Amino acid sequence: MMNQGVPRQRFYSFVKKHGIGLPYACKGISLVTDSPVEDTNLTCSGLITIVPDLSTKCRIPWAKQQEMVFADMCTKSGEAWTIVQEKVMTAGFEVEFYLLESVIKNDKEEFESSDKWRKCHTTAFDMASPILEEMLTYLQSLNISIDYLHKEAGKGQFEIGLEYTNCFGAADRLIYTREVIRTVGRKYGYHPTFLPKYSLDEYGCGSSVHISLSKNGINVFKESDGSSQYGISKIGEAFMSGVLDHLPSVLAFIAPHPTSYECLYSKEWNGRFVTWHKENTYAKISTCTLPGAVVVSHFVCPAFDACTNPYLGLASIMTAGIDGLWKKLSLPAPVDRETRDVNQEDYRRLPDCLTDSLNALEEDTLFNDMMGENLVVCLKAIRKAEIDHYCEDEEPYKDLIYKF
């Protein structure tokens, strides 16, 4: 996450209203370079302005003399650099993370699991409870509500479920939550990581996003009159159909790094096809019902991970869903068995790697039209540069644990 510090007096006397100027080039910087990537069409000429979104301003609970605020990226005229409206999509994230111990072996830093237990084990939860309680206290001070927290399947892995809110408000909460996890974890001597696959021998980490639609505070994704065979409203079905139809391209936004695909298909039951399921944790798109309910309340997209810019990721899902609404798409029948058992000839295959996702995005003109050609060109150039860097050899992968 990029940040810039501003003295308090300067912020309230000037920056609060007028923002800060940044060169266009800053949006063309990848994980591996401090200059704009070739083919992003971005140079050091020209400025964008980041203007504080005061609705996101909060006092940092572990450094109370400081405040943090998110900013909107605008042109000098005050218009949004790339316009994607929020519409009526609501979202909630699952935040998976590892608490790792740093050890020195042969004069090199390595990371080991902080516990030896698997999912929902009480001993691991008890041992980590002081850390988790402090995380919860900080989140509450930031007005971030959580639905649950538990020990996950990996050794030293935990998960926090964030409450639903408006689409981009959910992205704000996701970023703040990761900052809290990093800060508290480090305080207790651990190295927190959200990396999709920090070890090939361990379970991956995702940021599964739960998506619904609302109007005037009412869930309009679920069906209300018993007319749907899937328990989804016509609006909800069209929206989800659009996401499913464009999923190969959407992966370029929500699984944006070569290591994302090590997590995405790390288990044999993880679906590799453009299908949807009911109540299937490992499907790429699955509908969900609330405990004790019969009708569907929302759908979940587990492919979303911590390498993703959450705003762009949610915008890509929204864009695909809106296309489904425009076209009044209908859902195909759900797959009611593990995807490894399906007839592969009956379904489109999902991209096997980031290169395949970028090829799908290249062929899909929707995102150029809706999100802006300049943004998509920049995104593809950065992704290709990172593919070249991280696929040359294994050494660069070792630095990723410090970045995510």
Q: Assign a CATH topology to domain 89-402.
A: Creatine Kinase; Chain A, domain 2 (3.30.590)
Shortest CA distance to 279 belongs to which of 268, 262, 295, 263?
A: 295
Q: How many CB atoms lie within 10 A of CB 14?
A: 12
128: DSSP letter: H
Give, for 140, the enclosing helix (H) or strand (E): helix 122-141
> What are the domain boundaries of the chain?
12-74, 89-402
Burial category of 228 from C-beta neighbours within 10 Å (exposed 0-12, middle 13-18, buried 19 and up): middle
> 231 in helix, strand or coil?
coil
pLDDT on residue 382: 83
| Cα angle for residues 136, 170, 193 (degrees, 5° grid) | 55
Please report the pLDDT score of residue 278 as a whole number.
Answer: 83
DSSP class per residue in 42-105? --SSSEEEEEE-GGG-EE-TTSTT-EE--EEEE-TTS-BSS----TTEEEEEEEEEEEEEEEEE
pLDDT at 87: 45
Mark out the alpha helices in 205-259 (DSSP H runs).
234-245, 247-254
pTM, full prediction: 0.83
Compute, in degrees rounded to 10, the torsion defined by CA atoms 354, 358, 361, 362: -160
Query: Average pLDDT by consecutive 10-residue portion of the chain (404 residues)?
Result: 70 74 62 58 65 76 75 61 54 90 75 69 79 91 88 85 87 92 91 86 86 83 74 88 93 88 64 79 79 76 88 91 90 71 70 90 89 84 82 68 78
CB 392 within 8 A of CB 290: no
Q: What is the pLDDT of residue 76?
A: 54
